[in-house]
Structures are given as structure tokens and as C-alpha cells.
Structure 1
Amino acid sequence: MEQLNQIISDFASYAWGLPLLLLLIGGGLYLLIFSRFLPFRYLGHAFQVLRGKYNNPNDAGEITHFQALTTALSSTIGMGNIAGVAVAISIGGPGAVFWMWISAIVGMSTKFFTASLAIMYRGKDSHGNIQGGPMYFIVEGLGKKWKPLAVFFSLCGLVGALPVFNVNQLTQAINDILLEPNGVAVGFNSNLIIGVVLVIVTSMVILGGLNRISKVASKMVPSMVLLYFVLVLFILMVNIDVVPKYFLMIFTDAFTATNFKGDSFLGGVVGGLILLGIRRGAFSNEAGIGTAPMAHGATKTNEPVREGLVAMLGPAIDTLVVCTLTALAILVTGVWQSTNANGVSLTASAFAEAMPGIGTYLLLLCITVFSVSSLFSYSYYGTKCMSFLFGADHKHYYNYLYIASIIMGATTSLAMMINLIDGFFALMAIPTMTATLILAPRVTKEIKLYFRRLENENKQ
């Protein structure tokens, strides 16, 4: 197992090298400038679209703008925000959060372009149903000769969509918060039981398809985000005297890397910290990876720009709001310096410190809902990849592989699971970003046409 762990760790480090960093962040910056900072200029219009002002039931697609965003968010708001941020701080200190923010700001433009393309170049599966996502916009937008790139994305997506990290961290949270404090012995058997329960719950929802997934996600995610928001605000109020100090430290530590304990990158610790922040940011908001466009590609709309505007809200909600709240809770309670806990255990320590007794149980409730909703969304992404590769008749076979992997996630180490998903996320980003950068001029052309049409509608 140790040897396998090392191989997967080396694979993840190699995949997240300088070329990918340039593709994700350099490509995202290029898209931001190329679109003349459009994601920030039309935030108000994005919220109008999200509220349903422009919904048309006659448009092609399966789900509403709001359901698409909550389905995409249910996969990103979860362990990336609660455990992923904790992993970033335990290795990189407060400065890692700053580079997660940079990843999110750049990621907003990336999400805008990838989701717009998911609507512009929808394809059809072997059943003739309309589908969206990087594999379809690669083939439909760039032509059949680019199909190997779409196949590569889909193959990596089969592994990247597995829920092993989410399950691993949920199992750890149940052990740390519920079982151990109440005298229950934890080990392989207890982890296996948790895995089996998750298999049963997940099976009931994912075998019902996208409509059931999106309906469940649109009800679960907003209420849990609100509860989590209230809990963290309470922690910040209790420690209000040190909030300014740690908020400032996020900025100062980003360029000094005083608390960084990881490997250096590009010859220095600051480089290592930047890479860590961007890796955890990408894991948190998935901008440029290519998963969210699969959810947004199923939206009932004939206007690509509208879906792009809705999609770009994802990294803002996910990383700039939820990740920042988690980070401040960990920093102001001091647990990042007083404990060796990592991942979700570190976040649980912060809640225990600020709200003894009840805090960890409320956190467990949020974690459970976030994790379970993530399980639903990722299964949808995996079946889309399976359908593209082997035909819609065979996509349900992925659910069996997916359900089996829940047991693996519950019974293996955190390091192995996080490196496995990190590595395949990196590989998925290569075809997604390559196609997006090539097709970007067509999106900007569509932007001009869309706002011209909108202007004419408003005049009438």
C-alpha cells in the first residue's frame, strides 16, 4: 500500500507541474482579459437569469438555470470547502487562502467560457438526446479530428468523477465527531458499515437520473450553505478580536510563505505555496476541469451567454465565500497551530473550540449533506463520460463502478484518495482548457450578439 501511495503521489505531483499551472491560471487570465472582464461587469444580469427572469419552458434542455447551478455547486460545495481548505492551511498556513482566491477570480472567467460552450456546442448521445460538456464541445466545436481529445477527457472523467475523497472525509468526520467521542471503536469494520450505508443512500438517488439529482440538490444545497454560513459567522463573532489580524495574515503570508510546510516549486517556498493554493482552489471550484459544464450543458436555454453568466457565480459562491468562511474559522480559533489534525478533522477542531458540545454535531450535519449531494452530482458526470465513450445504453454500468468505489473511499487513506482525484482532475483540465482557449473567439462573438438582442428586447 505504501508503494502504491507513493506512485499515486508522484503521479499527482507530475500532473500538477508548471505546464498545467500555465494552462489553468495563464489560460484563465487570458480569457478574463479577452472578455474585457465580462464576468464582473454583468453580475447583476447573472442573478436575474438565476432567479428565472428569462426562463423559457420551450427551450431545449432538461433542467432550470438554478437547478444547473445547484447541481454544479453540490459537487463543488462540499469537501473541497471544508476538508480541502483545511488541507491547504495545514500545509501552507494562511497564505494558501490568498492563492485559492486568485484561482477563483480567474476561475470565474474560465467557468463563463466553458459553460457557454457547453450550450453553444451541444451534441447528441446514441439515443438522440441533447448533451453538453467538454467532450461534446470539443467534437462539435472543433470537428471530428479532435475526437481523441474528447475521448481522453472522458476516460479521465471516469476516474476523476469517483467519489473517493468525499466518502473518505465523510467517514473520517463520522469517526471523529460521532463514534470515537461516544466510545465506539473505529477501524476497518466501522468504516465498511459507513460505506455500505452511503452506498444504499446514493443508489436510491443516482439510479433515478439527472432530474432526481437536480431536484434533491436544489433543495439540499442552499439550506446547508445557509446553516454553515450562520455557524461560521458565530465562530467569527466569538473571536472577533483576532479576525482582522488573521484576515491580514492571509495577504502577508501569501508572499512570505512563513507557515508553508510543503515542497518548494520553481525554486522557492512561495512557488510551492502558490501551487498548493491553486491545486486546492481548482479542487474546490473545479474551474477549468470540465465537470461543471456537463451540468450546465443540460440547462433549458437556447442562450449560451446566459448559462455562462450563471456558471461564473459558482467559483464566487464556492471559493470566495464558503472557503473563506472555513479558512477564517480554522485561523481565528488557533487550531491550525495547536493540533496536528488534517482535513475535515482540523475543521471539526475549530467548531469544537468555538462551540463546545454542539458545534461538531452541527458541522457533521453540514458535512453529511454536502458530501451526499456531491455523491449525486459526480455520478451524473461519470455516466455522461461513460455514455460518450460506450453509448447511452451502457452508461448505467458506471453507477455500479461508482457505488463500488464508495466502499474503497471509506476504507483507504486520505493522502491516497486526494492525490488520485487531484491527478485525474489535472488530466481532465488539459483537453477542457485547450478546447476553450481555441473556441474563445466564438464565445466573444456570441456575447456581442446576445447583448445586442437583449438591448433590442428592452427597447420594445
Structure 2
Amino acid sequence: MTGIENALAQFASFVWGMPLVVLLLGGGLTLLLFSRGAPYRLLPHAIGLLRGDARHQDQDAPGQLSHFQALSAALAGTIGLGNIAGVAVAVELGGPGAIFWMWMTAVVGVATKFFTGTLAVMYRGRDDQGGLRGGPMWVIHEALSARYRPLAYLFCVAGLIGCLPSLQVNQLVETTQALVLAPRGWDHDLAPLILGLIIMLACWLIVRGGIVRIGAVAARVVPTMCVIYLLAIGGILLVHWSAVVPALLSIFREAFSLQAAGTGGLVAIILLGVRRGLFSNEAGIGTEVMAHGTARTSEPVREGIVAMLGPIIDTLIVCTATALALLVTDVASVSELSGASLTSQAFESVYAGYGVALLYLMVLIFGVTTITTYWFYGAQCAVYLFGARAEIWYRTLYLLSIVFVAMLPLHAALNLIDGMYALMAIPTMTATLLLAPKVLAASRDYVVRMRQV
């Protein structure tokens, strides 16, 4: 396994160079400036849409999910173990400064999500059986000339691998072993295999209902679990209230530190923070575009306005909460654990006796909702490449892959996803930047019409 781990690490480091960071952060900043901050100015309207403002509902419009369900499905894919395990890895390897660069992906990611979410509905396509589909591949297919078609294929090939539930399953298994099985003496060499089979069965019960069931489950589960998670971390911060401000200051101070021990310097901190941030909110990666492409609306800009809330909720709120819990309890400096197990120590330090159980519940639910959403993403890539019938066999392969990735080490799982995410970002950001003028024109028209309602 060492050879595979090294190969994956080298691949991830190669594709996640500074050029890709410039494309993602620089591209997002370009979109933000190009729109003159329009996404931020439209935030109040976004809240109104989520609340179900009757003036902006069209039950007869094409699509499968409401705005709220589409956002919940997208958040089910982003709010998960990236917020628990991914943030812990960022703090462990890059120190507090990595969190600042995670924030930067969200600040510009708001604009990126606005543009990609709008394009997801503006350029939906039809598969070989006439089904309505959305995603970066369809945007490229419908909006750009044939010479850009290889970008659509690149996105889908990378998506077939990158949307495998490597980190989610890995951390579910590792956390179950560390927090449930080992303390009771139940751990065994076959535990990853058995747990992988159990996770596979649980996910099958959801994914067999397709995106409609995924959206319905996500709309009920994700908001509730987010609130519970934030309240639990609020308790940790109250206990360590005197350490909150120093923790925040350390994030800003070490973000530009040239002496960050063990991180390889400033460039390494930036790359680590950006990788973990984009794994968290997926702005510019293109996966969440496939969820927003299912929205039941005939107004593309309206879905873009909803989509841009993702990085705010996911990274600026949930990831920041996790980071502060880790920093104020200082578990990273006194524990040899990593990932979700490290975050569990922060919970246990305050909620002694039941902190581990509380976080395990979060890991379990967030992990399962993310895994089921990722199945939908991968299936859309398979459908574009091989036709609508591919959705059935991809579901089977995806569920079987859960058993395999359950036995991958944490950093191998992270590097596998990171590498594929990098490849997916290239076509997504290229198409978004090329089509940005069309989105801006549509948004101006939408705002004018909205004021007349």
C-alpha cells in the first residue's frame, strides 16, 4: 500500500500547483470583480428564496427539486467529513494559518458558485433518453463549440473517480473503529470490510430512490444536523471563551508566516488551505453544479443566487466552527490522532463521557448523506459518457467501491480525491470564465424583472 500512497501523493502535489490555485482563487476573484460584487448584494434575496417566497416559485418549471432541496443536496455533498476530518487535517499539517486560506476559497467562492449555479440551469441538456441533466459537462456541451468537448470528457472521467466516497467511507470506518469498536475490544482485522458492507447497505437504501429521495432526505437531515453541530461547538467555545480571540488572531498571523514549522513554508500553507477549502465548499470544482442543475425553476439566475450560499454556510460557518474548537482546546498539539478522531478529542475534552458519542453521530449522518450525494454526481458523469442506462451499472459499481475504499489509509483517500478534484476544476472554471458575460447579462435582466414583481 505504501507504493500506492506515494504515487497518489505525488500526483496530488503535481496537479495542485500554484497555476491551479491561481485559476481557482484568481478566477473567483475575477468573477467577483466582473460582477461588481453582485452576489453579495443579492444575499437578502437568496434568503427569501430559501424561505419559499411565493412570488418566486414555479411548480410547473422543469427540474426535480425545489431551491431548498437542491441547496440541501449540494450541502449534503459539501457539509460532511470535509468539515470535520478535512479541517482537522488542515490544522494538523498547516497550523492555524491554513484556515485563513480556506476562508479565501469561500470569499471568492460565493461569486464562483453564483456563476456556476446559474450556468447549471441556463445550459441544461438532454441525455439519450430525453432526461433533463445539468452539470459542467452539459454547460460545455450546450454552450461552447465542439472544440471544447474534450473538457467535458475530462470532467466526467475525473468525476467518475473523484466522486468515489474515499474520504467519507475511510473516516466512517476509522472513527467507528477508534470510538466504538476499540474501546470495547471488538476491533478486528476484518472490521473495515464488515463496516464497509454495512455502509454500502445503508447507502443503497437511499440511492435506489435517485436524486428525488436524496434531496428529500438532505432537506430534512442536513439543516438539523448543522444546527446541532454548531450548538455543540458553541458549548466548547463558551467553556474556552478566553481562548477564542487568540485562536482567531493566530489564524490571521500564521496565514502569512514564513516560519511555520513543519509545513514547508508559506506556499505550502496556501496550497494546503486552498485544497482543504475547496474540498469543503467545492466552489469551482463543478460537483455541486450537478445538484443545482436539478432545481425546479425556469430562472437560471435564481438558482445561482441560492447556490452562492453554499460556501458561506459550509466554510465560513461550519469549517470555522470546527477550526476554533480544535484551536481553543489545543488537541492538535497533544494528540497523535488525525482527521475526525482528532476532532472527537476536542469534543471529549468538554463533553466528557459523551462527547465522542456526540461527534460520532455527526460523522455517521454527515458521512452517509455525503456518500449518497456523491453517487448522484458520479452517475451524472457516467450518463454523459455512456448514456442514461449507465446510471444503473454505475450505482452498482459505486456501492461495491465503498467496500474497497473502506480499507484505504486517510491520506491516500485525501490524495485520490484531491487529484481528481484538480482535474475537474480545469474544465469547470474554463467554461465559467468564458460564459461569465452571459451570466452577468442574465442577472441584470433578472434584477430588473424582480423589482417589478
Report the TM-score, using the length of structure 1 for normalisation. 0.96
Alignment partner, residue 19 of structure 2: 19
Asked whether the equivalents of residues 91 and 260 of structure 1 are also in contact (C-alpha less than 8 Å), the reply is no
Q: How far apart are the structure 2 equivalents of 1:387 and 1:272? A: 37
Instruction: Please state if 1:4 is matched with 2:4.
Output: yes
Residues 102-153 of structure 1: CA deviation (Å, up to 9, x unaligned): 1111111111101100111111111111111100001111133322111111
| Structure 2 counterpart of 1:65 | 67
Q: Which residue in 2 is equivalent to 1:216?
A: 217
Q: Among 377, 380, 385, which residue is 1:384 paired with?
A: 380
| Cα deviation code 1:172-222 (max 9, x no counterpart) | 1111111112222243x1111110100111111112111111111111111
Output the CA distance in 2 between the equivalents of 1:55 and 1:371. 31
Query: Where does residue 190 of structure 1 map in the other structure?
Result: 191
For 1:58-457, list aligned pairs within 5 A: 58-187=60-189, 189-256=190-257, 258-262=259-263, 264=264, 269-457=265-453
Does the 8 Å CA contact 2:124/2:135 hold for their aligned counterparts? Answer: yes
Instruction: Please say if residues 260 and 266 of structure 2, whose CA atoms lie closer than 8 Å, have aligned partners that are also in contact.
Output: no
One-letter amino acid of the counterpart of residue 219, structure 1: R
Letter paired with 2:311: P
- CA distance 1:295–1:328, change in 2 (3 Å): same
Is contact 1:85-1:326 (8 Å) kept? yes
Could you tell which deviates more after superposition, 144-153 or 233-242?
Answer: 144-153
1:234/1:157 CA distance change after superposition, 3 Å: same
Q: Distance in 2 between matches of 1:336 and 1:423?
A: 26
What CA distance in whole angstroms lies between the structure 1 residues aligned with 2:358 and 2:151?
44
Q: Which moved more, 1:64-73 or 1:199-208?
A: 199-208
Name the amino acid aligned to 1:62.
Q
Is the CA contact (8 Å cut-off) linking 1:39 and 1:108 kept in structure 2?
yes
Aligned partners of 1:330 and 1:350 also within 8 Å: yes
| Per-residue CA distance 1:323-375 (angstroms, 9 max, x = gap) | 00100111111101111211111101111111111011010001100000001
CA gap 1:126/1:417 in 2 versus in 1, 3 angstroms: same
Alignment deviations for residues 72-114 of structure 1 (CA, whole Å, 9 cap, x no partner): 0001000110000000000011111111001111111111101
2:44 alignment partner in structure 1:
44
- Further displaced range: 342-351 or 77-86: 342-351
Q: Which runs of 5+ in 2 are unaligned?
A: none
Residue 394 to residue 451, structure 1, CA distance change in 2 (3 Å): same
Within 1, Cα distance between the matches of 2:2 and 2:182? 26
Q: Distance in 1 between matches of 2:381 and 2:102?
A: 28
* Deviations, residues 17-61 of structure 1 (Å, cap 9, x unaligned): 122111101111100100111121111001111112111101111
Does the CA contact (< 8 Å) of 2:8 and 2:415 recur in 1?
yes
Could you list the per-position Cα deviations for residues 385-421 of structure 1 after superposition, in whole angstroms to 9, with x for gaps in the alignment? 1000000012211111111111122112111111000
Q: Where in structure 1 are there 5+ consecutive unaligned residues?
A: none
Range with bigger deviation, 253-262 or 130-139: 253-262
* Contact 1:257-1:273 at 8 Å conserved across structures: no
Distance 2:374 2:357 in 1: 26
Alpha-carbon distance in structure 2 between the residues aligned to 1:433 and 1:145: 16
After superposition, the Cα gap between the structure-2 partners of 1:138 and 1:344, relative to the gap in structure 1 and judged at 3 Å, is: same
SS in 1 for 2:158: helix
Q: Which of 312-321 and 336-345 deviates more?
A: 336-345
Structure 2 CA distance for partners of 1:260 and 1:89, relative to 1, 3 Å: farther
Mapped partners of 1:224, 1:259: distance in 2: 35
Pairwise CA distance, 1:245: 1.1
CA–CA distance in structure 2, aligned partners of residues 9 and 153 of structure 1: 21
Please report how far the alpha carbon of residue 4 of structure 1 lies from its aligned counterpart in structure 2 after TM superposition. Answer: 1.4
Matched letter for residue 68 of structure 2: F
Distance 1:234 1:257 in 2: 34
- Report the aligned-residue RMSD: 1.0
Deviation at 1:3, TM superposition (A): 1.2
Q: How many angstroms apart in 2 are the aligned matches of 1:397 and 1:146?
A: 28
Bigger shift: residues 285-294 or 391-400: 391-400
Please report how far the alpha carbon of residue 259 of structure 1 lies from its aligned counterpart in structure 2 after TM superposition: 4.2
Moved more, 339-348 or 318-327: 339-348
Aligned residue identity for 1:201: A
Q: Secondary structure at the match of 1:241?
A: helix
Count of residue pairs brought into register by the alignment: 451
Question: Secondary structure in 1 aligned to 2:406?
Answer: helix
Contact 1:285 1:319 in 2 (8 A): yes
Instruction: Go from structure 1 to structure 2 and tell me whether the alpha carbon gap of 1:388 and 1:103 turns closer, same or farther (over 3 Å shift).
Output: same
Deviation by residue 1:150-173 (Cα, 9 ceiling, x = unmatched): 111111100011001100011111
Whole-angstrom CA distance in 1 between matches of 2:407 and 2:387: 32
Whole-angstrom CA distance in 1 between matches of 2:410 and 2:258: 24
